[in-house]
Amino acid sequence: MAKKAKKQQQSGGTPATVALTAAGVDHTVHAYEHDPSHPSYGEEAAEAMGVSPDRVFKTLVADVDGTLTVAVVPVAGSLDLKALASAVGGKRATMADPTLAERTTGYVRGGISPLGQRKKLPTVLDASASTHATICVSAGRRGLEVELDPDALTKLTNAVLAPIGRS
CB–CB of 123/158 below 8 Å?
yes
Q: What's the pLDDT at 12?
A: 55
pLDDT digits (tens, 9 = 90+) for 115-153: 999 999 999 999 999 999 999 999 999 999 999 999 999
Give the CB-side neighbour count of residue 95, counting CA atoms within 13 A: 11
Q: pTM of the predicted model, to two decimals?
A: 0.89
For residue 10, the SS3 value is helix
